[in-house]
A and B are shown apart, each in its own frame.
Chain A
Amino acid sequence: NAGVMQNPRHLVRRRGQEARLRCSPMKGHSHVYWYRQLPEEGLKFMVYLQKENIIDESGMPKERFSAEFPKEGPSILRIQQVVRGDSAAYFCASSPHRGAGVEAFFGQGTRLTVV
């Protein structure tokens, strides 16, 4: 899974600041997924994107959170006005195409701490 690059690995933000998490998918992959893992919990789906399109954002909180995957450059997960409850590990995964049996490859995650 070293092919999916996430940065930064660790991010500390004060309450009210903005957090930007970046994800570069594996070469040749045009599908990106964002997951959040709260302490002692499983991986919760947030959003699924293809290049320039949001396909499924059913797991995204209604406010403060947004995601994009532009034609050029990495996918960005943006959290505005962060609160302590946003502290979590955020994982990005990519796959070459959609369909049954297509495994997603994960990055190492960004650990967001809100102080």
Chain B
Amino acid sequence: DQQVKQNSPSLSVQEGRISILNCDYTNSMFDYFLWYKKYPAEGPTFLISISSIKDKNEDGRFTVFLNKSAKHLSLHIVPSQPGDSAVYFCAVQGAQKLVFGQGTRLTINP
């Protein structure tokens, strides 16, 4: 029972272009949505979040969009930089815990 799905296991983007990572969830009761970034051999690092009362949150090069009717959120990174190469996890927050998607490996090509 996968409550959070990231359907693209990998994504390759040219440096300077926009990276778009997608995430779908099943439970409309989730009220907070987060993106984490993970480098190999390190723990996930919080990147950006959005509450269910908003549809967009921006922080520098990172923007998260939330479409509640479609139960879909996305992370936009623009412009993409080589240091952005990592695995990105979306997470949803229910009553007690964060539920993570499977992750998308983003590779930024020079």
Contact = CB atoms under 8 A, between A and B. Distances in A.
Interface of A: 1, 4, 6, 33, 35, 41-45, 48, 55-56, 91, 93, 98, 100-109, 111
Contacts of B46: 1, 103-105
B89 interface: yes
Nearest to B96: A56
A47 to B, nearest CB: 9
A42 B102 contact: yes
Contact of A4 (B32, B43, B99): B43
A93 B100 CA distance: 13
B103 to A, nearest CB: 5
Contacts of A98: 96
B51 A101 contact: yes
Interface string B73-110: 00000000000000001000100111111110000000
Contacts of A93: 43, 98
Given A43-B89, A43-B103, 8 more contacts: A1-B43, A42-B6, A43-B44, A91-B43, A100-B93, A104-B98, A108-B42, A109-B41
B34 interface: yes
B8 interface: no
A109 B36 CA distance: 15
- Most chain A beta-carbon contacts within 10 A, residue among B31, B89, B93: B93
Given A41-B102, A42-B102, A107 B31 contact: no
A44 B46 CA distance: 17
Contacts of A33: 97-98
9 contacts: A6-B43, A35-B100, A42-B89, A43-B44, A48-B97, A101-B32, A101-B51, A106-B45, A108-B43
